[in-house]
Amino acid sequence: MVALERAAFSVHQIGSVAFRRLLARNSALVLVCERGQEVLGHAVVLFRARSTVARLYSIAVQPSERGRGTGRALLTAVVEQARERGLSTLSLEVRALDAPVLSFYERFGFCFKARLPGYYDDGAEAVRLVLALTQGQRPLRRAS
Ligand SMILES: CC(C)(COP(=O)(O)OP(=O)(O)OC[C@H]1O[C@@H](n2cnc3c(N)ncnc32)[C@H](O)[C@@H]1OP(=O)(O)O)[C@@H](O)C(=O)NCCC(=O)NCCS
């Protein structure tokens, strides 16, 4: 999983110490897609006490495995787990200029929530996207 983080992200990578902490926390969920001993993808979700918002902290698929449905399967499992906990919203940050990843989330139903200038260590802007998890909740409108 650490190797996958390195392959997938240039900054904000989760290292081995952080993964161990996350795995020990009740307020974090780590989902892994495996083939034999190989990690094909993982997703990390954070929960907060007294909050109905789950945060998708990381999702990554091995470069050689992308485009085969692994990311969608992981995200579907994340949504199921968050719904089982009775949460209302799944939130995440993504690089504002990462069109392919934005498209991945938009196809899944995420909506634009906010711009976050200078969010990343390299100064790049992020956008916050949200997915409504509860039935009957109206989708958010895209802000200008
Ligand atoms: C984002 C990521 C997890 C997607 O995983 P994946 O296994 O390639 O995605 P899937 O094959 O499940 O694709 C799901 C949908 O997104 C679309 N999609 C995936 N990658 C895409 C791309 N590069 N460009 C456009 N659409 C894309 C697929 O067409 C598919 O749509 P469909 O189900 O309607 O056909 C993967 O590309 C990745 O690990 N990227 C690097 C890490 C990263 O940036 N993570 C997100 C941080 S915010």
pLDDT of the residue at 22 = 97
The Å distance, Cα 60 to ligand 1 centre, comes to 9
pLDDT of the residue at 92 = 98
d(CA 132, CA 57): 17
> Of 134, 10, 1, 115, which Cα lies nearest the Cα of 59?
1
Query: Using one digit for the tens of pLDDT, what is the confidence trace for 43-101?
Result: 999 999 999 999 999 999 999 999 999 999 999 999 999 999 999 999 999 999 999 99
Residue recorded with tokens 């994340």: 78
Q: Estimate the crossing angle of helix 70-84 against helix 99-108, to 10 degrees.
A: 50
d(CA 5, CA 118): 21
> Of 59, 7, 8, 2, which Cα lies nearest the Cα of 29?
59
| pTM of the predicted protein model | 0.91
The Å distance, Cα 8 to ligand 1 centre, comes to 12
| Catalytic residue of the set 5, 57, 93, 119 | 93
Domain boundaries, the chain: 2-132
Residue recorded with tokens 């989708």: 139
CATH 3.40.225.10 is held by the domain 2-132? no
Residue 54 near residue 31, CB atoms below 8 Å: no
